[in-house]
Amino acid sequence: MHIEIKLRQEIFSVIQAGMGFVLVALMVTGIGGTIYKIISPEGWVAVAFGRSASAGVAALGSLLMIGALAWFSRGWSSPGARNRLTDLLVFGFAAAGFAYLATFLTKGSF
């Protein structure tokens, strides 16, 4: 009886670790795919500003400024809200990673 309970706990732990690995892999893929989509020659910045170098640098600078402001303002929210935002970011990038992988597997490119 005791061995069966231990075995179930171990199986559950392995499944949970596997799901965690898949989530992290999807999240990293989502972050990498988003960065690629932003800075690639056919990416969102190039499309938005018509491949103008100065406009692209200005757009990237503004994105960096927004990121810096978000980084500094992270301490102003309550811990509960911060945890929900973190979960939203993790699962959002995991969903983006899933979408990028699905696009890559069906079309062969992003």
* Domain residue extents for the chain: 2-107
In the three-class reduction of DSSP (H, G, I as helix; E, B as strand; rest coil), residue 41 is classed as coil
Going by C-alpha positions, the residue among 30, 17, 18, 34 that lies closest to residue 90 is 30
pLDDT in tens, 50-109: 766 666 677 677 778 777 777 766 665 556 555 777 888 889 989 999 999 999 999 987
How many residues are there in the chain?
Answer: 110
Enumerate long-range contacts of 78-86, CB under 8 Å, 24 or more apart: none
pLDDT recorded at residue 87: 84
Closest listed residue to residue 99, CA positions, set 30, 35, 36, 49: 30
pTM tops 0.75, yes or no:
no
Amino acid found at 41: P
Q: Which of 44, 45, 64 is nearest to 54 (CA)?
A: 45
Nearest-CA neighbor of 53 among 32, 36, 39? Answer: 39
**Residue among 94, 108, 103 nearest 25 (CA):** 94
